[in-house]
Amino acid sequence: MTASFGIRPRRGLSLLCVISAAFTFGAVIVIWFGMNSDRDYIHPVLTQLIPAGHCACESSTTFQCSTCLTCPDPALQVDTTPAWTFEYARDARNEALNQRQCQWAFPGLFEDIARGRKFWSTHGRLSATELDAIPIQHGMVRAFVANGQLYVVTARSKGEDHRRKILGTLSSIHRALAADPERASRRDFEFVLSVEDKVDDVTKAEWPVWVFSRTATEEGVWLMPDFSFWAWDNPDNYMGPYDQVVERIKRLDLPWAEKTPQLVWRGKPSFAPKLRRMLMEAARDQPWGDVKQVDWTTGSNVLKMEDHCKYMFIAHVEGRSYSASLKYRQACNSVIVAHKLQFIQHHHYLLIADGPNQNYVEVERDFSDLAEKMEPLVNNTDAAQRIANNSVRTFRQRYLTLAAEACYWRSLFDGYASVWNGTVQQMSGEDIERGLRYESFALLESAKMSEFLATDTEKWQSY
């Protein structure tokens, strides 16, 4: 009796538990499906339900850009009448512009470096002590520049993707140094970099790590140009050096009047389900919309980078964090349509959302105003062409050139070195070198490069 009495309510309870567990399980499955599906259509209610995914933000962090193209930071302003002007055809590939030429050619490019300097001037300057506190995780490197040469202290990769991004980034640094007309007099400094997508994947926002992107509140880090300026090579995405991609796009780009007056986007919704599904919903069944999910395994809906340029409008959506593809889209003579961005890259300060210099179209993160912004531009493609022209003039022909990239790197070296206390230890103990020269590092076999600690590697010590 007591036994059955005892069991009955428990049975009732467990039934309830089972039902609610089943329900929860069902809901989890449905939401999981929403987040991971790459199908063209999932119910809009589901799009509302699914969490924002890896990018934990629903609203954008619009960053302070008090100092843009039209209003450069007074501290960065140089002579009002430059003695030299940048000419795209002549100078775009010149990686050896001097410091003054860099400042004349690229006003507004060095904003984040100025920000980092200001931050570290007021938060105590930098020395080996601060760097020693930073654990070197996979995807990170500790290195130094001494007498204008790059040395690798330690480098760690989990897999080829890390290793290639690390090698590409170090190569870009080496190139900027090698072309420096003032190389010999360069100040020594030591630094840590991360090739991971997000700061909080591997490190902390209050540490002085060099990263590809940051959010507005991640203030300790320094922005560097991403790995794909050097080149990008993985199974889904073979991309040459950025300037080569640009040349290819220039050869294939159509005259404006021959472009399709539609908004194009191809991607995997599951990379950032909320954002990407919102875009798919906002463009669905619109005469100006050509937004589709791709399936890399079957190749369905895959559109080559240069074929995006056949459209007047190209949508840009963040993925897990920043998306390195923005610069490829900006290479087309087309209008970039982007939601308010959360992740800042070094050249984002140059994006202008309105006024006579407008060089892209900005919409809300939920794309609620997409139709409202698209319709007048589809109606009046002259207005759209003006924006596309500004984009080409600003990005393809100026701020995304090899010349600008090298200038940015050297300005980063200078800005960082100005808050670095000046000491770089080159030896560890009597006879052991702390760093391996970049030229030798680049020759290491993959496995050695992936878990590399210079002082542990006897061989380098015996030349």
Ligand X SMILES: *[C@@H]1O[C@H](CO)[C@@H](O)[C@H](O)[C@H]1NC(C)=O
Size of the site for ligand X (CB under 6 A): 13
Q: Which stretch binds ligand X (CB under 6 A): 57-65, 81-89, 348-356, 378-386?
A: 378-386
Q: Which is nearer to ligand X, 129 or 217 (CB)?
A: 129
* Per CB under 6 A, 371 contacts ligand X: no
What is the sign of the dihedral through the CA atoms of 409, 342, 191 and 242? negative
CB-count burial class (<10 Å; 0-12, 13-18, 19+) for 156: buried
User: Which of 138, 73, 84 is closest to 111 using CA atoms?
Assistant: 73
**Could you tell me which residues come within 8 angstroms of residue 413 by beta carbon, excluding any fewer than 6 positions away?**
145, 176, 177, 186, 189
Q: Which is nearer to ligand X, 61 or 358 (CB)?
A: 358
* Per CB under 6 A, 379 contacts ligand X: yes
Quote the least distance from Cβ 369 to ligand X, whole Å: 12
* Per CB under 6 A, 397 contacts ligand X: no
Q: Which is nearer to ligand X, 235 or 356 (CB)?
A: 356
Which helix (H) or strand (E) is 128 found in, with range? helix 128-132
* Per CB under 6 A, 385 contacts ligand X: yes
Looking at 54, 340, 386, 437, which residue binds ligand X (CB under 6 A)? 386
Looking at 421, 428, 455, 461, which residue binds ligand X (CB under 6 A)? 421
Q: Could you tell me which residues are beta bridge partners of residue 237?
A: 234
Q: Which is nearer to ligand X, 64 or 379 (CB)?
A: 379
CA distance 55 to 40: 21
Which helix (H) or strand (E) is 156 found in, with range? strand 149-156
Quote the least distance from Cβ 324 to ligand X, whole Å: 27
Q: Which is nearer to ligand X, 1 or 89 (CB)?
A: 89
Q: Which is nearer to ligand X, 160 or 375 (CB)?
A: 375
**Could you tell me which residues come within 8 angstroms of residue 102 by beta carbon, excluding any fewer than 6 positions away?**
407, 410, 411
Looking at 354, 382, 431, 458, which residue binds ligand X (CB under 6 A)? 382
CA distance 293 to 297: 12
CA distance 47 to 127: 47
**Could you tell me which residues come within 8 angstroms of residue 86 by beta carbon, excluding any fewer than 6 positions away?**
101, 104, 105, 106, 398, 403
Q: Which is nearer to ligand X, 325 or 390 (CB)?
A: 390
Q: Which is nearer to ligand X, 349 or 399 (CB)?
A: 399
* Per CB under 6 A, 375 contacts ligand X: yes
* Per CB under 6 A, 187 contacts ligand X: no
Q: Which is nearer to ligand X, 98 or 389 (CB)?
A: 389
Q: Which is nearer to ligand X, 421 or 440 (CB)?
A: 421
Quote the least distance from Cβ 35 to ligand X, whole Å: 34
CB-count burial class (<10 Å; 0-12, 13-18, 19+) for 413: buried
- Binders of ligand X in range 124-183 (CB under 6 A): 127-129
* Per CB under 6 A, 24 contacts ligand X: no
Which tokens is 337 given?
A: 């349509």
Quote the least distance from Cβ 337 to ligand X, whole Å: 15
Q: Which is nearer to ligand X, 386 or 437 (CB)?
A: 386
**Residue sitting closest to ligand X (CB):** 127
Q: Is 295 helix (H, G, I), strand (E, B) or coil?
A: strand
**What are the Cα distances from residue 415, in Å, to 60, 121, 148, 171?**
28, 11, 15, 20
Letters for 91-130 (x = contact with ligand X by CB under 6 A, - = none) are ------------------------------------xxx-
Q: Is 421 helix (H, G, I), strand (E, B) or coil?
A: coil
* Per CB under 6 A, 389 contacts ligand X: yes
CA distance 185 to 372: 54
Q: Which stretch binds ligand X (CB under 6 A): 183-191, 275-283, 351-359, 416-424?
A: 416-424
Angle at 345 between CA 183 and CA 436, to 5 degrees: 40
Quote the least distance from Cβ 191 to ligand X, whole Å: 14
Looking at 56, 137, 422, 439, which residue binds ligand X (CB under 6 A)? 422
Looking at 423, 426, 439, 448, which residue binds ligand X (CB under 6 A)? 423
* Per CB under 6 A, 12 contacts ligand X: no
Q: Are 412 and 209 in contact (CB under 8 A)?
A: no
CA distance 156 to 322: 22
CA distance 212 to 214: 7
Q: Which is nearer to ligand X, 251 or 459 (CB)?
A: 251
List contacts with ligand X (CB under 6 A): 127-129, 375-376, 379, 382, 385-386, 389, 421-423
